[in-house]
Amino acid sequence: MVRPRKQINLNPQEPDLANVVATLQRQLLEQQLETNRLREQVARLNQIPQANEEPLQDNPVPPVAPQVPGVRQGVPRNVEVPLVPEGIQANPPLVREDLLFERFRRMKAPEFEGTTDPLEADNWLIDIQVILDFMGITEREKVLCASFALKKDARHWWMTVQMRKDVAAMSWQDFVAEFRMMYYNSEILAAQQDEFTSMKQGSMTVLEAVKKFEQLARLCPELIPNETAKVRRMMKMFRTDIAKQVSAGSSPPTQVSDCISRAIRAEYWINQDKEARAQIFKAKKEEKTVVKQFQPRQNQESYPKGQINNSGQNSKHKNRRPFDRPRKIRSS
C-alpha cells in the first residue's frame, strides 16, 4: 500500500502580530526585573563592612586567643597579643639574611674579582655604594651585601680580613678603609697623580680629555681641594688655542661646568675655521690643476742619436763640423 505524499502548503499563514508584540513585552519585563534584582544585590554588598571592620552583631562573641604556651589568655581587646611564644624570635637571622641577599641579587649589583687598577676599584666601590644607599639598609647589612659581591681574588682577600678582624661588628666605613688599603696601591696612585699633574689634551677632543681628567682627579683630591684649583688645572690641560678662547674676556670661568662649556664652544669654532681653510686650499689646488691642463705645451726639439740637425751638426758631436775627421795621434 502506497502512502500518499503530504501536500506542501505553498501559502503559509502570516504570524499573529499581537502574539509577537506580547512576547516581546514579556521579555522586556523579565529583563527589567533582572536588572532591578542585580541593583539590589549591589546595594546590599555596599552596605557590608570592609574586611578590617568587624560586622555588627546583636550578641558579639569575644575573640578566642590562640592556645599558645607562654601567652596570657583572655586579655582585653586593646592589648596587643603576641603571635609567637615568648623566648622564640619572630624573624630568625637566617631568614632575614636570605631575604636581604635576594633583594641585593635583584638589584644586579656588579661583581668584583680584584684588580691592580685603582680606577677600576674606585668605579666598583661607587656603583656598589649607590645600590646600598638605595636599598636603605643598616651598616652591617651593607658589609654583608658588599662582601657577597666579591669573587675570586677579592674573595680570598676578604677571607683574610675575616681571620684578623671581627667582621660582624664592622661598619661600612671600616669596609671602605680596608678595601682602599688593599686596592689603592700607593705606587700606582703616585703614578696616577703624576699623570694627572702632567696631563695634556693633545689630539683628544674636549669631552674625551675632560672624562679622563675627572677619572684621574678622583684618585688625587688633595691636588684640587676646591673649585678654583680644579678650573686652573683644567685650563692647563687644554690646548693653547682652546685655552686662549676660554680665558678671553673680562670674566674668566670660575666654575668647572662653565669652563667645560666654553671649551666645547671654542673647539667647535676652531674646527669650523680649520674646515673652511681646508676647503679654500682645496679649491685653489683644483684651480691650478685645471689651468695647467689647458696651458699649451712648448715645442721641444729632440733628435735621435747620431742624427744631423737643421744646423748641420751631429747631435752626438755638436762642436764638430760635418766633414771633419778625427785626427790620428802618431806614435813616436
- pLDDT 10s digits, 122-147: 899 999 999 999 999 999 999 999 99
pLDDT (0 to 100) of residue 66: 52
| Last residue of one domain, picked from the residues 184, 217, 251 | 184
- C-alpha 200/C-alpha 328 separation (Å) is 80
Burial 46-57 (b: 16+ CB within 10 A, else e): eeeeeeeeeeee
3-state secondary structure of 314: strand
Q: Are residues 167 and 204 in the same domain?
A: no
**pLDDT at res. 8:** 52
Looking at the structure, tell me whether residues 159 and 207 fall in a common domain: no
Task: Say which amino acid occupies 168.
Answer: A
Flag whether 228 is in a domain. Answer: yes
| CA 307 to the chain's CA centroid | 82
Q: Are residues 177 and 117 in the same domain?
A: yes
Q: Are residues 176 and 217 in the same domain?
A: no
The per-residue pLDDT for 15 is: 61
- Same domain? 170 vs 238: no
3-state SS, residue 297: coil
The CA distance from 35 to 42, in Å, is: 11
Query: Does residue 277 fall inside a structural domain?
Result: yes
- Shared domain for 173 and 226, answered yes or no, is no
Q: What residue numbers bound the domain in which 149 lies?
A: 93-184
Same domain, 100 and 178: yes
Residue 195 lies in a domain: no
pLDDT of residue 97: 73
Q: Is residue 160 part of a domain?
A: yes
- Within a domain: 247: yes
> Do 212 and 275 reside in the same domain of the chain?
yes
- Below-70 pLDDT ranges, the chain: 1-15, 47-96, 291-332
Q: Answer yes or no: do 256 and 179 share one domain.
A: no
Structural domain tally of the chain?
2
pLDDT at 82: 46
Same domain, 140 and 116: yes
Q: Is residue 215 part of a domain?
A: yes
Residues near 262 by beta carbon (within 8 Å), at least 6 away in sequence: 245, 246, 253
For residues 103 and 162, state if they share a domain.
Answer: yes
In a domain, 279, yes or no: yes
**Does residue 54 form part of some domain?**
no
205 and 179 in one domain? no
Contact present, 204 and 133 (Cβ < 8 Å): no
Are 112 and 182 in contact by the 8 Å Cβ rule? The answer is no
Helices (runs of H) and strands (runs of E) counted in the chain: 11, 0
Cα distance between residue 294 and residue 128, in whole Å:
72
pLDDT for res 90: 46
CA 166 – CA 143 distance, rounded (Å)? 12
